[in-house]
Structure 1
Amino acid sequence: MSEDNESWRTAHREAIDAMLRGINAEPDNPFILKGGTALMACYGLDRFSEDIDLDGQRANVPSNRFFSIIDQTCRMHGYSWRKAKDTSTVRRAFVDYGNPERPLKIEASFRRRQVPSQETAQVNGILVYTISRLCELKTGAYLNRDKIRDLYDLAFIADRYYDQLDESAKAHLQTAFEYKDLEQFDYLVRTQSDPLIDNAIMEDRFLKALDKLGIITADS
């Protein structure tokens, strides 16, 4: 890994952390962190995640609140930002923290009116989905698109958190890895190259997950 690449990731991660602190500064924060950055910031995911993806609880969010928080936090840290999308269901901003070639994308989805409290947790001062809910969301993503990062994240969840998953999440994981099994794994590794993914680690975790789920055994 080059020094420049490492420096970029360090600065980008600092911006992610700063923006997440700003978003979570108020006790009634309605924005729930999801996706790879939720796994990285709250559950120890060992690959870098570049964007902040949120679910906003539509019943609790005035139309201007998302951009107001972005603006206030950017002012506090000397960042600049621009509005990229503003609809009834999606709001998106790009934050320039000093590297205009790699802005931080922050996106909030407002497709859910309310989110049950049992689906969320407070981890490291961040409102985030539980690991079981993140597993369900990731399996949905993995089944609906072919992205090697989704596979890596699911293999990580299965390796690190399988015993903590509820039965629904385990069932989602089982379905995903039965439908997209070793053949799909080989296809993704062959056709996608991602500098943020360690294929050897992913393969080891994926095979262990198939073993845990009874899809293949260690002796297969």
Structure 2
Amino acid sequence: MIPLILRLKKNAHKEIAKAQDILVETLYEVFDKAVIHGGTALWRCYKGKRFSEDVDVYIEKNIKKINQLFEAFEKKGFTIKKKKIGENSLYSNLKFNRIHVRFEALFKKIKGSLHEYETVEGNFITIYTLTEEELLKEKIATYLKRLKTRDLYDIFFLLRHIEKISLVKNDLKKLITKFRQPIDEKDLKVIVYEGIIPKTEEMLMYIKRRA
């Protein structure tokens, strides 16, 4: 299999991906039950074709361990540009060499599923993530909230790999009923690094067929 670093077209994406790998490895040194979700889980664990800048995780709310994590990030060469800890979430912007990576966490105890995470060099590390069905439900909720074309593309991608449609049928019906056009359709061509760029109408038609 061709490693990610050779499949990514943009140098900036390659550098961000390298930084993400260091973040993820460091994360599990401190939070060994962390669960990776969102776009990063899709392209690293489920062979997605869309680049994702953020590292999104579920972790417990433990301020001492969070501070330990950011100290570990700094030891690995990251500069903490922004770090905001709220009641239910954490947002941070980290700089590594010349690039920026966002690390975001929701404070939830989520039981993840073991899966292989593909590094940019083509190696694999075992992490916790969500199942494809769980990711799809999450993506549907996210799309209806912010109407980003990347989320619709992720739904389209996941549906091609889910066999037990009955597990997500109600969520798909909700998406179809409440569907509105994405606000940023042109952005998709910038972040899909392999394959065709489907139009909104094509993705919606496929979703309706599967529902």
Normalised TM-score (structure 2)? 0.78
Structure 2 CA distance for aligned equivalents of residues 98 and 20 of structure 1:
17
Which has the higher relative contact order, 1 or 2, with Cα contacts under 8 A spaced 6 or more apart? 2
What CA RMSD, in Å, does the superposition of the two structures yield over aligned residues? 2.4
Matches within 5 A, 1:81-100: 81-99=80-98
Tell me what 2:106 maps to: 109
Contact 1:135–1:173 at 8 Å: present in 2 too?
no
Matches within 5 A, 1:2-151: 6-25=10-29, 29-58=32-61, 62-76=62-76, 78-99=77-98, 102-110=99-107, 112=108, 114-115=109-110, 117=111, 120-124=112-116, 125-151=126-152
Tell me what 1:200 maps to: 198
- Other structure's SS at 1:47 match: coil
Runs of 4+ in 1 over 6 A off after TM superposition: none
- Per-residue CA deviations over 1:124-176 (Å, capped at 9, x if unaligned) read 112111111111111111122211111011011112x22055x3423212321
The structure whose residues are more often helix, as a share, is: 1
Contact 2:82–2:94 at 8 Å: present in 1 too?
no
Contact 1:156–1:205 at 8 Å: present in 2 too?
no
Change in Cα spacing, 1:141 to 1:75, as seen in structure 2 (3 Å) is same
- Per-residue CA deviations over 1:52-105 (Å, capped at 9, x if unaligned) read 1112234xxx212123223214413x2322442022322222221112xx4101
- Other structure's SS at 1:174 match: helix
List runs of 5+ in structure 1 lacking aligned partners.
214-220
Change in Cα spacing, 1:204 to 1:40, as seen in structure 2 (3 Å) is same
Structure 2 CA distance for aligned equivalents of residues 193 and 205 of structure 1:
14
In percent, how many aligned pairs have the same letter? 21
Amino acid at match of 1:107: E
Contact 1:71–1:81 at 8 Å: present in 2 too?
no
The structure whose residues are more often strand, as a share, is: 2
Higher gyration radius (CA):
1
Normalised TM-score (structure 1)? 0.75
Amino acid at match of 1:193: K
Change in Cα spacing, 1:156 to 1:201, as seen in structure 2 (3 Å) is farther
Contact 1:82–1:93 at 8 Å: present in 2 too?
yes
Task: Figure out how many residues of one structure are paired with residues of the other and give that number.
Answer: 189
Contact 2:132–2:162 at 8 Å: present in 1 too?
no
- Other structure's SS at 1:29 match: coil
Structure 2 CA distance for aligned equivalents of residues 199 and 172 of structure 1:
24
- Other structure's SS at 1:88 match: coil
Contact 2:59–2:106 at 8 Å: present in 1 too?
yes
List runs of 5+ in structure 2 lacking aligned partners.
1-8, 117-125
